[in-house]
Each structure stands twice: as C-alpha cells, then as structure tokens.
Chains A and B, each alone.
Chain A
Amino acid sequence: MTRLPVAALAAVLALALSALIPAATAQAQSGPLRIEITEGVIEPLPIAIAPFLTEGSAASALAQDITAVIRADLEGSGLFRAIPERAFISPITSFDSPVQYADWKAINAQGLVTGSVGVSGDRITVSFRLFDIFAEAPLGDGLQFSGTGATWRRLAHKVADQVYARITGEGGYFDSRVVFVAETGPKDARDKRLAVMDYDGANLSYLTDPGTLVLAPRISADGGQVLYTSYASGFPRIMLLDTASLRTRTLENLPDSMTFSPRFSPDGRTVLFSSSRGGNTDLYSMAIDGGAPARLTEAPSIETAPSHAPDGRQIVFESDRSGSPQLYVMPASGGEARRISFGPGRYGTPVWSPRGDLIAFTKQNQGRFHIGVMRPDGSGERLLTASFLDESPTWSPNGRVVMFTRETAGAGGAPGLWSVDITGRNLKRVPTPGPASDPAWSPLLD
C-alpha cells in the first residue's frame, strides 16, 4: 500500500469496503489489490493533518482543538493513521502557500490535510484543503464551513467527513448524533434517562428526568424528535419527544394495550410500533401526526422490533411464529412475510442499513450474543462480535459502522456503548459518562 496516489488508495479503500459485500468482491476480483483485501489486512492509510492555522492569535487554542477533533474522527474510523506532527519536514505556515510534495512523500504521507480557522465575533469559519501527495495535486476543491462558536466541533466533523468521503468514495458519518439510555443505580433498580450526544460522546445532554423507566429510543432524521418507550403511566407506552423543547406526547391510545418498539419511517411521517394486548404482540403503523393505527400483523405469535428499508417499501421484523425468534421481511403495508434468518440460534432487533444493502441484527446462540449482518434476502450472514450480551445495533449514517449495547455479566454487570465496522474490525468503546444502552444513531446532520 505504499507509494500509491491517493486516487489509487481511494480505490483500495473502496475495494476494501466493497469487499464487505461478497457480490461486490466478486466484481472486484480483477483488481490488482485483491489479495490484500481478501487477507483482510487493511493498513490504515498514513496521512498528514497539518495543525490548522489561525487568523489572529485569539483562535489558536480553537484551531488546535479543531485539528484534534478532525484527527480523532479520521483515526477513529480505523481507516487512517495520522503521522505525528514531529515527523513533519516542512510545516505549513500559510494556508495558501504551495505544498512541498517531496517533503510529505519523504515521510510517506499519502494525503495531506491543511486548514485555517477564522473567528469574527461569535462566527467561526473553518477552511480546509486535501492533497494527494503522490499525484502532487489537490483532491477536490478547498471548502469552508462556518457556524457559531458553539458549533466548532460540528465544523471539525464536517471537515473530517469531507476528507473521509473524498478518499473512500463513501459518505462520512462524523457530523451526527446518538440518542441512548443513560443508566445509574444497581442492576435490580436501574434508573434510566434518555440522553443525546455527538457520535463521539461530546456535547451530551439529558432529555428526560430520572425516575421514569424509558427504553429503546430512536432519533428522527433531523435530530429534532425522539421516539421511545416510557413507563410514565405505569405501563409501557410509546412517546414522542421534541429535543429542543423537551415536550413529550403520547402517540396512540389503543385500549387495553401496552405499546413499545417505536420506529420512524425513513420520511419521518410514519411510526411503526408493537402493541401487546391479551398477551399477544403485533405490529402497527400510524401517522406521526395522529390518526388511527393500522394493524400490520395478525398472528398469535410475537411480532416486534420492526425496521423500514430505506426506500420505505419493506419492513424487517422479529417474530417467533416458527417457534423461536427469527427475522422476517414483509411489505410496509403488511401482508405475507418471508423468513430470512435460518442459521442456528435466535435472531432479533433487525435494523435495515441506510444504504439498503444489509440488515444488522442481534443473534443469541449457545449462551453467547452476537451482532451480525446479512443481506436483506438472508444470505451472506456474518457475525461481527461475540460476548456475554451484545444487542440493539444501530447504523452509522453511511452504513459502514454499527454501534450497539454490550452488557457485562453478574451482579455488577453494566451496559456500555460499543462500535464495530461491518468487517468486524475496529471494535471499540464509545465514551459515555456512565453505563449506557440502546443507542440510536442519527443520519448526517444538515
């Protein structure tokens, strides 16, 4: 992987990513870099991220912080390695001066990111350029993002998303939010609150008060609304929360029912959920603005954990109609369902990738839990993790990373958030202030 132009490296990374899907791998077999890919060795791409320059000394600390966030995003993806600044031969002293490609080649930087930060009142402007060192040319145009001082991390994430996208050919995922359940207290009296944070754990805030059991939130595409299950009434009931005002409302009023597992449709206008009545749990959908819920399944078995395909036309869900929990796909309006999981064990919590190509799920087999992925037709099942208890996967905005809950065993056991890419690499803990569960990852923010 040395001495390749960034464009070629982009191809390597694109191949590496497409190798995750066997069909695409077959397609790519004529590529000269195929061997490295099938061996599963993806060396992170060495890049240089020059400390962002400042226009005026007031912004120097901010520029350092922004550079650090960009570096953390890119390295955290597992696809890039930032060359330490002390190895740089020719420091960047001006955003507009020509790049000395030989000096960056000498330290084996494949790409170079340069940038500057300007501050005017409460307005921050971050500009950046990306260079392909071995092609000795810019990779894409320079870009700038601006926002208020409070949004500086988002501006850094947007730069990192651009770098990631230009080099991999895939969308990024850094400028995004995660809603989850923050937990405190002992295992037999856990207190749970909804919380929301940036994908990397920064800017955390709580959305609900302690004292009311809340479960399994989902965040809307614009990050402005959260669906979840609340025991505020003493019984599980789906609720909708506005993240700006923190106002909540109940959505349905089905008689003699408990409702849970709410999900947004891709256009945000419909809510899928489960309703239990008389011990039987079925799937329903309803308009988020109100109206009568429509029943989608009518079986004596458990039907729950629905997830729309990104085009909104199909639903994958979990049902034990065969005798054990398995995954099924049916039209979004209900109707005949097709079973897609056939391996040993029990399958649950299916979540359709925003790319449409994969379904992530929880699998329980021989006393262990796994997060896995399969194609929507059930083929190509691969398990990405294994532990005492892994569950509740959620997709990164680009469909390349899965975040999930991992809970440890025993009286002192506690859940935390973890992420893994769809090759099973780059497994790592997502920082949260305390125990945390049930993550739901937003799309890229506007």
Chain B
Amino acid sequence: MTRSLLIVACCAILGLGACTDRFGGPGSGAGGAGAAGSASDPSSPAYFQQSVGDRVLFAVDESSLNAAARATLTEQARWLQANRAFTAVIEGHADEQGTREYNLALGARRASSVQEFLVSQGVAASRLRTVTYGKERPIEVCSTEGCYAQNRRAVTVLATGGAGA
C-alpha cells in the first residue's frame, strides 16, 4: 500500500508521462491487496477495484462480452471519465485448458474486447493499453470449471501517466 502510494507520488512529482507502474503489479489481477487509496473514496483505485469492479469474465473460448460484463464495463468507463488522471492496462487471461500460444492470442482478444467497449463508452483509446497473459497468471489454481471460470477474465489495471509505451 505504502509503496504504491509512493509510486503515485513519484509519478506526480516527476510528471513522468510514460510511468507504467501499476497498482496491482504486472499480471496480478488479484483482488484486494495492491489498490491504492481508501475504498470509501470514490476516486481511489481501491474503490474502482472493489466497488466498480475491475474484471469481467468470459465463457470458454469466448471473447464476447455478456450482459454482466457490459454492465461492469459501463461503470468502469464512467469511472475512468470521472478520473482522467488514470490510464489503464487491460490484462487478458485464459484458463489452463488450451495450448500456451493459442491462449496468448485468446487473452489478447479478450483484452481487446474490453478496450473496444470502453472506447465505445467514451474513454480515449490513448488512455488504454492491452496485454495478454494467456494462461500464465491464473488467479485460481484448482483444475475444475469453478476455477477456470474465474481465470477466463480481463482485468482493468489502473495506472497513472501514459498507458505504456
């Protein structure tokens, strides 16, 4: 927590346009730890993560957004429009039921679906960047559908400064 805040301060003071430090760390997508600020402050990354919802889930082999995902992303877009100091890296993930390289491509597709939706809701494309982790960073580690469903996700990870080079 402290470290993340220091990163924010550092970025703000130095005005680093390309600062890519992210609150959750690369490939985290892990809820809870790592988001800065108080969850009761609606402009905080913690609020974004916990109250807006930083992730959407996908069906097997799918990158299309269901109604729940679109609702979450509509809220994400609203928050991003209200908090323009933030940029975001959208991480696309897959479950382990697929080959490594196909899952990289699938994760890229999922991240892009989210990016396109956020842009359609008015978020500037320049504030968003996508990254795929394929099946490399599962959040749940069991090998049943209950875990796979949580791992087929796209996570919007906030950053300050540019969305990355």
Contacts and interface: CB of A to CB of B under 8 A. Distances in A.
Contact of B104 (A280, A304, A391): A304
A409 interface: yes
Contacts of A281: 104-105, 108-109
Interface in B139-159: 139-143
A438 B100 CA distance: 9
A216 to B, nearest CB: 6
A260 B141 contact: no
A interface, size bucket = 35 or more
A392 B104 contact: no
Interface residues of B, number: 39
Interface string B13-43: 0000000100000110010000000000000
B160 interface: no
B54 interface: no
Nearest to A260: B104
A121 interface: no
Contacts of A409: 143
Given A216-B100, A234-B26, A234-B131, A188 B141 contact: yes
A236 B133 CA distance: 8
B132 interface: yes
Contacts of A318: 99, 101-102
Interface in A399-446: 407, 409-411, 413, 437-438
Interface in B107-126: 108-113, 115-116
A190 interface: yes
B59 to A, nearest CB: 14
B101 A260 contact: yes
B104 A188 contact: no
Interface stretch (A38-46, A196-204, A271-279): A271-279
Contacts of B111: 279
Interface in B43-101: 61, 63, 89, 96-101
Interface in A154-171: none
A258 B108 contact: yes
Interface string A293-305: 0000000001011
A389 interface: yes
A190 B105 contact: no
Interface in A206-252: 213, 215-216, 229, 231, 233-236
Given A187-B141, A235-B131, A279 B113 contact: yes
A362 B99 CA distance: 8
A304 B137 CA distance: 20
A304 B105 contact: yes
Nearest to A325: B102
A186 interface: yes
A348 interface: yes
Given A235-B164, A236-B131, A392-B99, A410 B108 contact: no
Given A188-B137, A278-B112, A234 B20 contact: yes
Interface string A176-187: 000000000011
Contacts of B100: 215-216, 391-392, 437-438
B161 interface: no
B33 to A, nearest CB: 13
B131 A279 contact: no
A231 B164 CA distance: 13
B102 A348 contact: yes
Contact of A279 (B97, B108, B134): B108
Interface of A: 186-190, 213, 215-216, 229, 231, 233-236, 258, 260-261, 274, 276, 278-281, 302, 304-305, 318, 320, 324-325, 346, 348-349, 362, 364, 388-389, 391-392, 407, 409-411, 413, 437-438
Given A274-B101, A364-B97, 9 more contacts: A258-B108, A274-B104, A279-B110, A280-B109, A281-B108, A302-B109, A389-B97, A392-B100, A413-B141
12 contacts: A189-B137, A190-B136, A235-B131, A258-B132, A260-B104, A276-B132, A305-B99, A318-B101, A346-B98, A362-B99, A364-B97, A411-B142
